[in-house]
Amino acid sequence: MPASLPVAKGGPGGTTPAAARTGLGLGSSATLNTGAAQGNVAVVGFRGLGIQGLTKASSVNVLLSGFDAYDNTVTSYSPSTYGSMLTMGFPFGDWAGQLFISCTPQSKAWIRGGSQTNAPFYEIYTTGNTTRGSGGALSAASPILRIADVLRSERRDLLEQTFESAGAYGVANDEARGVTVERSDVGVYVITGSLGLALEGWRIQDPCSPEGGRMLGITQSEQDSQGVITLRLYKQRWTLDEEGEMHLGPGAPMDVPLNSWIDVRLEMPAKPDPDVPEDQPA
């Protein structure tokens, strides 16, 4: 058998297919086909892998398994403006599950599952869209302001997660940046920089004890036409009426206890998102 012409002179570098592949530096995939069969090499686009903005994003569809980028200004099926979708197909029928992670707004995620339907997305609760009250209870909420004597507070968790100082008497999470709190008198706190209290859902949570959620005071609020909020905190006072019934109401003014805080849920002005691509609408 004649010797093979070496690769340096334009030959395959071997007299058998295996030797030639070795000589040419080819790996094991050189003997495999591309396609969807078991043992094939997958290519870009296989089951949606690497394809952006698939037009069938409305369906939870096994044919779209893969990682995809979505622009809600083009297709309205994703739960936020821009984000990434992971579709995990079920091997029998057109069933699948999907995980959507948002770019705008940042760090939110949703899941859904079904069979070729416009199934609703369900938001995943994380530290980005919940807050833990002074008594330890978890609430779906944001933007959040905590009112407390920041420097003297006994709570190590006052500045947890994304909370940062909002003046000497408050800390705000990342969605409440720009808010400030001032103490104008005993138990009187003035909040500026927001549009006011949240329009929907809960607004204020009274200070609670950290060991069990026992209420430590009673909060009353008011806001003006500019969204400036004034909170007043009072001690709890029980009074006995003529029928012998006990009623809880506000007593003497008090400052926020050093072992607690007041949770305030706000309405904030819209902010431009720096992560929106310049060539895309906000």
pLDDT in tens, 37-86: 788 877 776 655 665 544 444 444 444 566 766 666 544 556 777 777 77
- Report the pLDDT averaged over residues 22-45: 74
What pLDDT does 259 receive? 95
Q: What is the rounded CA–CA span in Å between residue 78 and residue 57?
A: 8
* 3-class DSSP state of 225: coil
Say how many domains are in the chain. 2
Q: Are residues 62 and 174 in the same domain?
A: no
**pTM of the shown model:** 0.61
Q: Are residues 65 and 186 in the same domain?
A: no
Average pLDDT value for the chain: 79
Range of the domain at 249: 130-267
What pLDDT does 58 receive? 46
Using a 10 angstrom Cβ sphere, with 0-12 exposed, 13-18 middle and 19 or more buried, the burial of residue 173 is: buried
Domain-terminating residue out of 74, 94, 123: 123
What pLDDT does 252 receive? 96
Is residue 244 predicted with pLDDT exceeding 90?
no
* 3-class DSSP state of 205: strand
Q: 136-152: per-residue pLDDT in tens?
A: 677 767 799 999 999 99
Is residue 30 predicted with pLDDT exceeding 90?
no
Structure-model confidence comparison of residues 216 and 118, the more confident one: 216
Amino acid at 30: A
List Cα–Cα distances, 203 to 137, 180, 243, 263, in angstroms: 15, 17, 33, 8
Is residue 106 predicted with pLDDT exceeding 60?
yes
Q: Are residues 74 and 154 in the same domain?
A: no
Q: Are residues 202 and 243 in the same domain?
A: yes
Q: Are residues 263 and 135 in the same domain?
A: yes
Going by C-alpha positions, the residue among 104, 47, 115 that lies closest to residue 78 is 104
Is residue 282 predicted with pLDDT exceeding 80?
no
